Each structure stands twice: as structure tokens, then as C-alpha cells.
Amino acid sequence: MYSDIFNAIKKHNEMMKSSIPLIASENLTSELVRKCYLSDFGHRYAEGKVGERYYAGCKFIDEVEDLAIRLTKKLFDVEHVNLQPISGVVANLAAFFALTNPGDTVFSISVPCGGHISHDKISAAGLRGLNVVYYPFDVESMNIDVSETEKLAREIKPKLFILGSSLILFRQPVREIVEIAENLNAHVMFDASHVLGLIAGKVYPNPIKEGADVLTASTHKTFFGPQRALILSKEKVAKKIDKAVFPGVVSNHHLHSLAGYAIAVMEMLEFGEAYARQTVRNARTLAEKLHDLGYKVLGEKFGFTETHQIAVDVREFGGGGPVARKLEAVGIILNKNLLPWDPIESTANPSGIRIGVQEVTRLGMKENEMIAIAEFIDMALKDKKSLQEIRKEVAEFRKDFQTVKFTFEECPAYSLC
């Protein structure tokens, strides 16, 4: 029965209203963005470019997409924008089709070191037929070892250097990798899915400005948008990118969420810098407090984080799997996560957890709330109170943070429709 669906949605919303959401790949949209989901755009097709559609009836859809493109160019100061990928993985596939041929060698960050699965041989890169070689990685700095990368690159001569990570704590060496790539006549792409909002907010460097040829990104992590994606690029690869997107890997591009994305870009232009600054402050505060409480927070010598993310080694508490489940029981929602020393087969119970503060920041939380969150985590993992008691305290804590901030009109964080 359809009522079962709405009951499940209601229960989910009630759960989230009383929980602390710390999944690093999620965020909330404003009511203005959500209103676009329910428009007639959601029933329509608009294959092709603005003004060059294959279907009639796209006049007003063209207006929205054209505006979204112009606003995106303004926000990121880039030469070319394609807003048609419907997910980050689809955007990455398009970039692989545009910049490589089957059999080419590419560099990427391994999954245990933070790389996204779509950059790996077992996912999109492998399906494109690419030979994936992992960057030499420095565990202490949680970053690419540039000197060792240069040595390896001279030996195997990759055609594409893939940057950006699923676990990304610090700024990656884009300029240095671009210099290596230029000497090999190779391309550089940066998957900015996790840091797109931080780039928009000017607290993380724009990889295109640092020399990358292509930036791919989903639009719903540190960015304010619905779940879709974009590709930013230099003009010299624009035609290849557009052809790879359509007719390559996208047909219709989900026009209701495209309209919502256009609203989100407007919000980012207005509020992005304040939001991004607070997000990074929150992440550092939470990391420092967890460290003070005795937790093994990665990146200590480098200030723990320069993004929205924190990584914690929780092997002494049973590993990432049991820790994530225990914290979920008290209403703290985060994910288990591989750390660089983990074999990729240990996904069921890796060494770490990954924490993201971008959603709680959009709910209006600041440094004092980060200290409280660290204390809730500590209470649960060290059994200072019963899980039931902590769950009640978490729910009480959340009562003051029920609206979406950094938007033109504050709105409820969760609603049925």
C-alpha cells in the first residue's frame, strides 16, 4: 500500500529530526530548492544543449539551464560548464571518456587512502578499460607523495592524473601534479565532489585555477544543491566533455533537480563564503576536542583537517563497523571508513570512521555544539552512560537545530513532502 511508503518516510524524518547527522557526503536542501522537485520539469525531457534540443516544448527549460550555467561560471570563474551529469560517478565517467582511451594508464588515489571507488579499477575507471596505478601516498600527511609520484610517472607515463578524494582532509598538490602532467602531455582532473562548496566559499583552492583541465563534482555534499553533478573545464577540452556527457553517458538530465541546482547556486553566491568558513572551523573544533578526549584523530601534525571532514582510528573500540553501529544507536549518524593501512577487503570492519560537519553547520551549529558532539561520542564509546540515556540527550540537543540556515528563507530541515 502507498501508505506504507509515506509511513516509512515519516519515520525516517522523525529519526533524523532527533539525530546528529555526520555523514560526510550528505547535506540538506532549502525549501526553495525542494519546491523545484515538485514542478512539471520532473516529467519532461530536454536532450541536447540549450537552444539545440531534440524535443519541442523546452523554451522555459532552456531559460533555467542557461541561467544556471551563467551563475555557475560566475561562482567558479571558469571557461566552460556542463550541468547535465546526474551524479558524480556519471560526471567521472564522462571525464574518462573525454580524456582517455581504453588501455591508457591513469594515476588515482587508492580507496584505503581516500580515493573514490569510481576512480578505481573495480568501478568506472576499470569499466572504461583504464589501467589504474595508485599514487605513492604519505600516511602521516594523508596526502600524495609528490617526489615519488614524479619518479613513478616518468617511468609509466600516465595519460591522466585523477585527484580529489572521498576521504579528503587537506589540500592536494594540484599545481605540482599539473607540472608533472605537462611534462608528459597528460591531463589532470579533480573530483571535487566533497569540497565543491568549500571551493565556492573560497576556503579551498579552485583546482581549475591551479591548472587542472577538468573538475567533476556532485552538488550535494558541501554544496547546497540536490543530488546531481557538474563538470567545469578549460575551453580546450569543452567539446570533448560535452560530447562525452551527451550523447555519451546522459540522455535526459532530470530537469526538476536542475532547477533546484540553479537555486542552490544563488544561495552559494550569497551565503557560500560564510558557510564554508564556519564549516572548516567546526571540523577543526570537533577534531581538536576528540583529540583532547584521547581519540586517534588523523592528521594531527597538520592541524587535523582543512575541510569538512575528520578521520578517526577507532580500532581500540572494535573498529569502524561496531563504532558506527553503536553511535547510530544513540542518534549519531556517521560511516565506517577504510584508512590507509587497511586492506580493501576489510570494508565490513575497517579501522576508522569518517565524520563530516557540513550538514550540522547548515543547521546552524557552531563551535560550542562541536564540543558537545565530541562529548556525546565519548560518552557512548567509553560507556559513560547507558545508550538509552545518551539517545535522550542527543534528541534534546537537536531540538534547537531544526531549520536550514544559509538560505534566502529559513525552512524546516525535514518535512513529509
Where do you find CATH 3.90.1150.10 in the chain?
18-27+272-412
Q: CA 235 to CA 245: how far, in whole Å?
A: 15
CA angle 348, 353, 359 (to 5 degrees): 120
* Neighbour tally for 406: CB within 10 Å: 24
* Beta bridge pairs of residue 412: 403
Side chain identity, residue 191: D
User: What was the pLDDT predicted at 416?
Assistant: 57
- Peptide bond before 247: cis, by omega within 30 degrees of 0? yes
Q: What is the pLDDT of residue 362?
A: 98
Please give the single-letter amino acid code of residue 139.
V
Looking at domain 18-27+272-412, its CATH class is alpha beta
Residue 354, all three cell numbers = 569518517
- Pairwise CA distance, residues 227 & 205, whole Å: 23
Domain with CATH 3.40.640.10 in the chain: 31-265
pLDDT value for 414? 87
Q: Measured on CA atoms in the order 53, 84, 74, 182, is the torsion positive or negative?
A: negative
Per-residue b or e along 365-394, where b marks 16 or more CB atoms closer than 10 Å to that residue's CB: beeebbbbbbbbbbbbbeeeeeeeebbebb
- Could you write out the DSSP letters of every residue in 114-152? T--GGGSTTTHHHHTT-EEEEPPEETTTTEE-HHHHHHH
**pTM, to two decimals:** 0.97
CATH label, 31-265, candidates 3.40.640.10, 3.30.70.1280, 3.60.21.10, 3.40.50.970: 3.40.640.10
DSSP 41: G
Q: What is the pLDDT along the chain (417 residues), one digit of tens a residue?
A: 889 999 999 999 999 999 999 999 999 999 999 999 999 999 999 999 999 999 999 999 999 999 999 999 999 999 999 999 999 999 999 999 999 999 999 999 999 999 999 999 989 998 899 999 999 999 999 999 999 999 999 999 999 999 999 999 999 999 999 999 999 999 999 999 999 999 999 999 999 999 999 999 999 999 999 999 999 999 999 999 999 999 999 999 999 999 999 999 999 999 999 999 999 999 999 999 999 999 999 999 999 999 999 999 999 999 999 999 999 999 999 999 999 999 988 899 999 999 999 999 999 999 999 999 999 999 999 999 999 999 999 999 999 999 999 999 999 998 754
Give one DSSP letter per residue of 287-315, joined into a string: HHHHHHTT-EETTGGGTS-SSSEEEEE-G
Calculate the CA dihedral of residues 394, 417, 31, 332 and round it to 10 degrees. 20
The single-letter code of the amino acid at 79 is E
Q: What is the pLDDT of residue 243?
A: 97
Q: Beta strand pairing status for 229-233 and 80-82?
A: antiparallel
268 membership: H or E segment, kind and range: helix 255-292
Q: Going by C-beta distance under 8 Å and a sequence separation of 6 or more, which residues neighbour residue 28?
A: 359, 362, 363, 404, 413
